[in-house]
Amino acid sequence: MRPLVAGNWKMNGLSASLAELGSLQDGLAVLGLRLGSDVLVCPPATLIAQAAWKVAGGAVALGGQDCHAKDSGAHTGDISAQMLKDSGASFVIVGHSERRQHHGESDGEVAAKAQAAWRAGLKAIICIGETQAPRYAGDANQICGKQLDGSVPGGATPANTVIAYEPVWAIGTGKTPTSADITAMHAHIRACLVRRLGKGGREMPILYGGSVKPDNAGEILNLPEVGGALVGGASLKASDFLSIIRAISGS
Ligand code: 13P
């Protein structure tokens, strides 16, 4: 299975930031056949259409950071999965912890958004992850298992869904779980997916996210059951993001 290195720009980026996409494209072209992963960038929705022109014909796919659960209608300010697709996206992140925390998104809403993504022909990147307190209390597995059960719809397959494990306490903090903890959690997620989805659950990519940087990417991305990374801060600069991509490509 080819790994996926995905960048989530969050609420960062203006038209001028598209120059970073150009630099990313150039760096990937230099890697050429040594590029060992698929590469995705999720810029703010306002930039997707311009970004699509910028990356046309290259190795970078584009994604949205959220979508509405409905296809269209009276939802002022919201963006549908179809709109993202129409702008040039092929993926959309759903259930990011920043959406769950600051917009009160429930597991059920996240599942409905994943289904909306599929209807539009987008791949859903469904995020899960525990906060600090349950990690200390030894409840991380139970929390993540519950999120998976509630957020991943029954029709999920490796063709339409990617899981991203992002421990909330590791996001933007420079802290990461130990390699042993990442390995244990990814094994747990794999077991939950297989129990729920059967064969499809065995092949569904599981990304790790949370303070992935050029200096820790090599170690994290080589752990068992880590099918790639979801990168926040370090995806904003093409040079850092390329270092992470090179770490997985072994070059
Ligand atoms: P950081 O890489 O900045 O910790 O963010 C991770 C993240 O939330 C990606 O979705």
What confidence tens digit (pLDDT) does each residue in 181-232 have?
999 999 999 999 999 999 999 999 999 999 999 999 999 999 999 999 999 9
Residue 138: pLDDT over 70? yes
| Average pLDDT, rounded, for the chain | 96
For residues 168-181, give the mean pLDDT. Answer: 97
Is 109 known to be catalytic?
A: no
Residue 18: pLDDT over 80? yes
pLDDT per residue as tens digits for the range 22-69: 999 999 999 988 898 999 999 999 999 999 999 999 999 999 999 999
Is 186 known to be catalytic?
A: no
Angle at 220 (CA atoms; ends 123, 25), nearest 5 degrees:
55
- The CATH superfamily assigned to 1-7+39-44+80-232+244-251 is Aldolase class I (3.20.20.70)
Catalytic one of 96, 98, 109, 225: 96
For residue 231, what are the β-bridge partners? 7
Q: Show me where the domains of the chain are located.
A: 1-7+39-44+80-232+244-251
Q: Could you tell me the pLDDT band of residue 1, with boundaries at 50, 70 and 90?
A: confident
Q: Whose CA is nearest to atom 9 of ligand 1?
A: 232
Global confidence as pTM: 0.98
Residue-wise over 19-46: b if at least 16 C-beta within 10 A, else e?
Answer: ebbeebbebbeebeeebbbbbbbbbbbe
- Short-list 20, 149, 144, 159, CA closest to 90: 159
Catalytic one of 166, 186, 188, 225: 166
Residue 80 pLDDT = 98
Residue 32 pLDDT = 87
Residue 160 pLDDT = 98
